[in-house]
Chains A and B, each alone.
Chain A
Amino acid sequence: MSNDIKQSSEAKKLARELLEQGKVSAVIGYAEGTLKGRVQTLIARNPLDAEKFIFNEYCVNNLAVYLTKSYRLLKSDKPVAVFLKPCDIRTVTALIQEHQIKREDIFIIGMSCQGVRNGNGLSGKCRACRMHNPQYSDAVIGEAIEEKEPEVTDPFARVKEIENMSTQERWQFWTKEFDKCIRCYACRQACPLCYCEQCIVDKTQPRWIESSAHPVGNMAWHLIRAFHLAGRCIGCGECDRVCHQNIPLSLLNMKMSKEIFDLYGYRSGVDPEAKPPLTEFKMEDNEEFIR
């Protein structure tokens, strides 16, 4: 049996059992899509629906996005189960650290993962991935995968290229990219860490960020979002994937991750015990940048 089929059938079986035994209120997973290379999100509430679950190389979405936001499924007294790839599990860790969810409210179905595709090739995040086996899971689907050196050893290579541009080149690069933004906010909606009940861009009294898709409004939007994700973004690449205008949003978030790592040695979503640096004060914190 190929890996896909095996993992899919294990996933169906587990989802069915969890729902039959009433251990969870819902299972959030992947189902067959209508287009080649695409999968659909499926929120199953009864055991019959569990038959539709699949897992394959196209399961690129980070389903942890359903754990926050207004459609919280966690209102029930039972936990909700979610299919999460090893990289997606970092979202749960980050959300717990930020007191958005409780560990006992989530049943993590960890999917061991060889890498997923986005369009034609291996997704960018998978090229540099060093975590093919799920951690902190309540159940693991799939066999253990041998960890090996990834194809891309420096995930920040592209960020460094941009850092090396002159200020003017960098300005040009980003104004050209932001020029395409039509302010649909798909990037925010697909981001599991953009869960604010009222996003700053929707505030009108006073209005902090102009909502019009003109150069000023777009620049302000992208800068504020990058700042808000600093030290929080777990690098799932969803913002990037969903932007139909192909604006390389994850470069901004990677840059912020790099800064936070350089300053505090902190990576979001990796260690459930760690305190997010921007919510904690330590006497020995690096403060050379405060002038």
Chain B
Amino acid sequence: MKIYKLKTGYTEFLGALLQKGKNVIAPRFAGRTLLFGKIDKAEEAVLPEKYINTVRSAKEFMFPVTEAVVEFSFRNKDVKIHDAHPEEDEKLIVGLRPCDAAAFTITDDIFNYEYKDEFYLTRRRNAALITFACESIDEACFCTSVGLKPDSIQGSDILFKKNSAGTYIAYVNSEKGQKVIDSVKELFEEVIEVVEDIPLYRDLENKMRSPLDTVKIKEWLDKNFESPLWDEYSSRCLGCGSCAYLCPTCHCFDIVDETKYSQGLRRKNWDACQFPLFTLHASGHNPREVQSKRYRQRVMHKFKYYSDRFNKTLCTGCGRCVRSCPVNLDIYQVVSELTKEETA
């Protein structure tokens, strides 16, 4: 695939896309909170060198916090049911980090498994992921533990990196990416020669928490479903769900019916295994009746079950769960310490 040099800055790039009538989603401030959102003016977007990552990941543009999946109305015995459909418009998600772009390559497997989730898949098909390599990291980041790097291209349609002169170099990774470049061709110049490996990215990689051994972690998890360590580590978990809601790879949802008078919507809402209601049966029995069992599910799903099924770790090391946990229950620390313990 091709490599280009961006002749302008970030803002001009966004401006040109907007000018062409594109639907641009980029990190911008909502009050004090950095979130992805649709931008109308290029200046609203925060420059990639100004943030480590957004508070929420970009997953909500494929899998929204809430969305209608069925519409219904009833009058006596006359019930009408219509399928709802996802919007079809194209989106350019710009300014995401390699961990968030990679997350989609992981969740694609589940939404494309036995049941094809039309909502996720349609939006996914219509979205181009335009990633900017990380220029800074914090203590919570651990992407190198799960095979990623501050400048990984996995999942991106275009990856922008800076060269030592501070110019953005665009690495095109798909047809979709090429189409985006072509739409604002005047801003780009094709690069033929080999591009230098930029020391910044290697520095960041080396500064990160030392990589986890996911193979060893999985082996430990395979044997330790019943370990007493689960309780020891996680009885302090508040079950607040922040970890799952901010995670780019967590994908659980709940289905609710919301009715007003004689019509309503069936909605698909985010849900999380950290909540007591998540596995509560109609009989009243709850197989995960205490928080430590719910926390175990989180770790097992990320580092064992998903890997059993799809041969992938359900984590991109983005660090959001680490940053947001109110009691500093740090998944990196938990899995690295657990696996040091002898198998029970």
Binding site for B on A (CB under 8 A): 33-36, 38-43, 61, 65-66, 70-71, 176-177, 179-180, 182-186, 189-190, 202, 204, 207, 210-214, 217, 238, 241-242, 244-246
B230 close to A (CB within 8 Å): no
**Can you offer 20 A-B residue contacts whose CB atoms are under 8 A?**
A40-B327, A40-B330, A42-B236, A65-B238, A70-B276, A176-B30, A184-B240, A184-B242, A184-B245, A185-B241, A189-B238, A210-B256, A210-B258, A211-B269, A213-B270, A214-B66, A242-B240, A242-B242, A244-B55, A244-B246
Is A66 touching B326 in the complex (CB atoms < 8 A)?
no
B242 A212 Cβ-Cβ under 8 A: no
As a 0/1 sequence over residues 226 to 253 of chain B, the CB contacts with chain A under 8 angstroms (1 = contact) are: 0000000001101111101110000000
A33, A66, A189 — which one has the most chain B CB atoms within 10 A of its CB?
A189
- Whether, in the assembled complex, B277 has its beta carbon less than 8 Å from a beta carbon of chain A, the answer is yes
B290 near A212 (CB under 8 angstroms)?
no
User: Contact: B328 with A40, CB < 8 Å?
Assistant: yes
Partner of A35, one of B35, B140, B245: B140
Having A33-B330, A244-B55, one finds 6 other A-B pairs with CB under 8 Å, namely A40-B327, A177-B31, A180-B30, A184-B240, A186-B241, A214-B66
Assess the A34–B330 pair: CB atoms within 8 A.
Answer: yes
Given the complex of chains A and B, what is the CA–CA distance between A285 and B244 in angstroms?
46
Closest residue of chain A to B55, judged by CB?
Answer: A244
Q: How many A-B residue pairs have CB under 8 A?
A: 112
How distant is B61 from chain A, measured CB to nearest CB, in Å? 14
- Of the candidates B242, B276, B291, B326, the one whose C-beta lies within 8 Å of that of A61 is B326
Please pick, from B65, B140, B239, the residue contacting A182 in the complex, using a CB distance under 8 A. Answer: B65
* Chief secondary structure at chain A's binding surface: loop
Query: Per-residue 0/1 for B326-337: is the Cβ within 8 Å of any A Cβ (1 yes, 0 no)?
Result: 111110110000
Would you call B256 and A182 a contact (CB within 8 A)?
no
Docked Cα-Cα span, A36 to B140, in Å, equals 10
Query: In the complex, what distance in Å separates the CA atom of A177 from the CA atom of B31?
Result: 8
Chain A residue numbers with a CB within 8 Å of B235 are: 43, 71
Contact with A along B264-280 (1 / 0, CB 8 A): 00010110100111000
B interface list, Cβ under 8 A from A: 30-33, 35, 55-56, 65-66, 138-140, 235-236, 238-242, 244-246, 254, 256, 258, 267, 269-270, 272, 275-277, 290-291, 322-324, 326-330, 332-333
B31 and A180 contact, CB distance less than 8 A: yes
Cα-based distance from A168 to B330 in the complex (angstroms): 42
Q: Does B240 contact A70, Cβ atoms closer than 8 Å? A: no
Contact indicator B140/A242 (Cβ below 8 Å): no
Instruction: Verify B139–A189 contact, CB threshold 8 A.
Output: no
Measured between beta carbons, the chain B residues less than 8 angstroms from A36 are 139
Q: Establish whether residues A213 and B65, one from each chain, have CB atoms under 8 Å apart when the complex forms.
A: yes
Cα distance A41–B35 in the bound complex, in angstroms: 29
Contacts of A204 in B (CB 8 A): 256
- Taking a contact as CB atoms under 8 Å apart, the answer to whether A185 and B240 are in contact is yes
Residues in A with CB closer than 8 Å to B272 are 184
Sort A-B residue pairs by CB-CB distance and give the 9 closest, nearest first.
A186-B240, A189-B240, A212-B66, A41-B236, A40-B328, A184-B245, A242-B326, A184-B241, A213-B65
| Known contacts A35-B322, A40-B327, A245 near B332 by CB under 8 Å | no
Report the minimal beta-carbon distance from B44 to chain A, rounded to whole angstroms.
15
Q: How far is the CB of B110 from chain A (nearest CB, A)?
A: 20
Are B277 and A34 within 8 A (Cβ)?
A: no
Residues of the A chain whose Cβ atoms lie less than 8 Å from the Cβ of B35: 180
A244 in contact with B242 (CB, 8 Å)? yes
Task: Look across to chain B and name the residue whose beta carbon is closest to the beta carbon of A177.
Answer: B31
Q: Please state if A190 and B238 are interface contacts (CB–CB under 8 Å).
A: yes
| Interchain CB contact under 8 A, B270 and A182 | yes
Q: Determine whether the beta carbon of A190 is less than 8 Å from that of B322.
A: no
In contact, B290 and A71 (Cβ under 8 angstroms): yes
Cβ B269 vs Cβ A212 within 8 A: yes
A170 to chain B, nearest CB (A): 15
Residue among B66, B267, B291, B328 with max Cβ neighbours from chain A (10 Å): B328
Of the candidates A61, A238, A244, which one forms a contact with B324 in the assembled complex, judged by CB atoms under 8 Å apart? A244
Closest to A214 in B: B66
Residue in B31, B33, B326 whose Cβ sees the most chain A Cβ within 10 Å: B326
Q: Which of A34, A66, A180, A207 has the most C-beta atoms of chain B within 10 angstroms of its own C-beta? A: A34
The verdict on A176 contacting B31 (CB below 8 Å), with A35-B323, A211-B256, A238-B326 known, is yes
Instruction: Determine the residue in chain A with the shortest Cβ distance to B280.
Output: A202
Shortest beta-carbon distance from B191 to chain A in Å: 39
Chain B residues with Cβ below 8 Å from A70 are 276, 290-291
Tell me which residues across on chain B come within 8 A of A202, comparing CB atoms.
Answer: 277
Nearest residue (CB) in B for A26 is B235
B72 CB → nearest A CB, Å? 15
Tell whether A34 pairs with B241 under 8 Å between CB atoms, given A70-B276, A183-B269: no
Interchain nearest-CB distance for B269 vs A (Å): 5
Q: Are B239 and A189 in contact (CB under 8 A)?
A: yes
Question: Is the CB–CB distance between B328 and A241 below 8 Å?
Answer: no
- Alpha-carbon distance A36/B54, docked complex (angstroms): 19
Name B291's contact: one of A39, A71, A180 (CB within 8 Å): A71
Q: Which residues of B contact A212 (CB under 8 A)?
A: 66, 256, 258, 267, 269
Cα–Cα distance between A176 and B33 once the two chains are bound (Å): 12
Q: In the complex, what distance in Å separates the CA atom of A41 from the CA atom of B275?
A: 19
A186–B328 CB distance below 8 A: no
User: Smallest Cβ distance from A142 to chain B, in angstroms?
Assistant: 23
B31 touches A246 (CB 8 A): yes
Interface centre among A71, A180, A212 (most CB of B within 10 A): A212
Name the B residues within 8 Å of A211 (CB-CB). 254, 256, 269
Measured CB to CB, the closest approach of chain A to B169, in angstroms, equals: 32
When chains A and B are docked, how far (Å) is the Cα of A189 from the Cα of B312? Answer: 31
Nearest Cβ on chain B to A231's Cβ, whole angstroms: 24
Residues of A within 8 A of B140 (CB): 35
Residues of A within 8 A of B31 (CB): 176-177, 180, 246
